[in-house]
């Protein structure tokens, strides 16, 4: 049973990756004819054919595709048109910025959103809860780029407290450039992280609130009350714990969206991460970078979704019994 579920999930993941890799492969092969890019305008037919042969473009398509996959697995995606640098190196140099931003934003969203949701769930009629709910509705309706612009306007332009673009000073830890070790790095991180976190924060708050209210209505909480347990123990040891399971799964899924949404935040704050890279690549027509990004982001989502599915299965015994 378990094995069948596991295999099904993995097969699903494999299908997605094959489809995306085919898309990425066709981008590589059919867009912006690689031969003309390399030989120049005046090349003869013979020269073109020679180049075609040297690049392996005269081989049958399935073989070319397999070779493409082979190279992709080793992280080889050719050379970026824009930076004249191997794509793998361009991506590796941008990845730390995006991951650090997403990590801090996720910590913010969970660390602030869950307590707010717990409070709103425990005291649904209090004035503060009403306020929080209005805030969350606004949080969902304000696009993150508008939030970002308003933050820049206040904190960079009027108050001149925080830098409006870039990562500040970064320190190299091996191949990883981190902004965590300098004051200017943290100052630069603050506004982008808040902007990115805001939407997820309201999401976690709403989710925690509904879950908490649902759990508080359940039989075992009534029973705990009947046993005369203290209010605090009921709220935090019994109710909150059961609330957290679905929240953790959603949090896992949201990590992927954070990396996707960081495209917007990175554009507003000129944050040198993957998101800014893909936007620049699209406007420049940098096909190798786009193709590699597609594969990378698909892989990321497939891994996250599969892991979350499996975790769900491991955590919730009811799912196992049904199959």
At its nearest, how many Å lie between other proteins and the CB of residue 305?
5
Q: 108 vs 18, 99, 197, 234, 323, CA distance in Å? A: 35, 14, 6, 26, 38
Stretch that binds other proteins, among 41-49, 115-123, 186-194, 301-309 (CB under 8 A): 301-309
Q: Which two tokens stand for residue 273?
A: 């991460």
Query: With left for phi above 0 and alpha for psi between -120 and 50, is residue 78 left, alpha or beta?
Result: left
Beta carbons within 10 angstroms of residue 140's beta carbon: 12
* Interface pick for other proteins out of 297, 299, 310, 311 (rule CB under 8 A): 297
Beta carbons within 10 angstroms of residue 313's beta carbon: 16
Nearer to other proteins, 23 or 55 (CB): 23
Query: With left for phi above 0 and alpha for psi between -120 and 50, is residue 142 left, alpha or beta?
Result: beta
Q: Does 145 bind other proteins (CB under 8 A)?
A: yes
Q: Does 314 bind other proteins (CB under 8 A)?
A: no
Measured CA to CA, the distance from residue 281 to residue 285 in angstroms comes to 6
At its nearest, how many Å lie between other proteins and the CB of residue 308?
10
In sequence order, what DSSP letters do the residues of 234-262 get, joined into one string?
IIIIIIIHHHHHHHHHHHHHHHHHHHHHH
CB of 189 within 8 A of CB of 167? yes
Could you tell me which of 142, 107, 110, 148 has the C-alpha nearest to residue 263?
148
| The total number of residues written for the chain in this structure | 323
* Interface pick for other proteins out of 116, 201, 240, 264 (rule CB under 8 A): 264
Q: Which two tokens stand for residue 263?
A: 């495209």
At its nearest, how many Å lie between other proteins and the CB of residue 162?
14
* Interface pick for other proteins out of 166, 257, 312, 316 (rule CB under 8 A): 257
Beta strands in the chain (DSSP E): 171-173, 176-178
Stretch that binds other proteins, among 64-72, 123-131, 223-231, 289-297 (CB under 8 A): 289-297
* Interface pick for other proteins out of 105, 114, 116, 152 (rule CB under 8 A): 152
Q: Does 279 bind other proteins (CB under 8 A)?
A: yes
Nearer to other proteins, 162 or 287 (CB): 287
Stretch that binds other proteins, among 45-53, 67-75, 103-111, 259-267 (CB under 8 A): 259-267
Q: Does 251 bind other proteins (CB under 8 A)?
A: no
Q: Does 66 bind other proteins (CB under 8 A)?
A: no
Measured CA to CA, the distance from residue 297 to residue 302 in angstroms comes to 9
Q: Does 278 bind other proteins (CB under 8 A)?
A: yes
Q: Does 139 bind other proteins (CB under 8 A)?
A: no
The separation between the first and the last C-alpha atoms of the chain, rounded to the nearest angstrom, is 7
Binding residues for other proteins, rule CB under 8 A, total 42
Measured CA to CA, the distance from residue 83 to residue 147 in angstroms comes to 31
Q: Does 12 bind other proteins (CB under 8 A)?
A: yes
Nearer to other proteins, 130 or 225 (CB): 130
At its nearest, how many Å lie between other proteins and the CB of residue 209?
15
**For binding to other proteins (CB under 8 A), which residues are involved?**
12, 15-16, 19, 27, 31-32, 137-138, 140-143, 145-146, 149-150, 152-153, 157, 164, 256-257, 260-261, 263-264, 267-268, 278-279, 282-283, 285, 287, 290, 294, 297-298, 301-302, 305
């Amino acid at each position: 049973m378990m094995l069948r579920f596991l295999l099904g999930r993995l097969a699903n993941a494999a299908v997605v990756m094959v489809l995306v890799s085919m898309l990425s492969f066709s981008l590589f092969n059919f867009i912006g004819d690689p031969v003309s890019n390399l030989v120049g305008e005046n090349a003869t037919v013979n020269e073109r054919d020679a180049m075609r042969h040297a690049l392996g473009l005269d081989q049958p398509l399935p073989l070319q595709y397999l070779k493409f996959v082979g190279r992709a697995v080793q992280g080889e995606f050719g050379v970026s048109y824009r930076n004249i640098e191997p794509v793998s190196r361009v991506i590796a140099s941008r990845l730390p910025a995006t991951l650090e931003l997403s990590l801090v934003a996720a910590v913010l969203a969970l660390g602030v959103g869950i307590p707010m949701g717990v409070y709103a769930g425990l005291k649904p009629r209090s004035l503060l809860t009403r306020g929080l709910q209005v805030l969350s509705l606004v949080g969902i309706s304000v696009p993150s780029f508008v939030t970002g612009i308003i933050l820049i306007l206040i904190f960079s332009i009027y108050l001149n407290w925080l830098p409006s673009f870039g990562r500040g000073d970064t320190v190299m830890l091996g191949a990883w450039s981190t902004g965590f070790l300098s004051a200017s790095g943290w100052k630069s991180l603050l506004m982008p992280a808040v902007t990115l976190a805001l939407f997820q924060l309201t999401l976690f708050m709403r989710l925690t609130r509904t879950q908490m209210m649902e759990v508080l209505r359940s039989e075992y909480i009534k029973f705990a009350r009947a046993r005369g347990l203290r209010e605090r123990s009921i709220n935090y040891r019994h109710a909150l714990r059961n609330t957290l399971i679905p929240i953790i799964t959603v949090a896992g899924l949201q990590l992927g969206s954070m990396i996707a949404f960081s495209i917007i935040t990175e554009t507003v704050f000129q944050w040198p991460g993957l998101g800014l890279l893909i936007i620049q690549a699209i406007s420049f027509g940098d096909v190798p970078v786009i193709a590699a990004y597609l594969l990378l982001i698909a892989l990321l989502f497939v891994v996250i979704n599969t892991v979350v599915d499996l975790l769900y299965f491991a955590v919730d015994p009811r799912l196992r019994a049904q199959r």
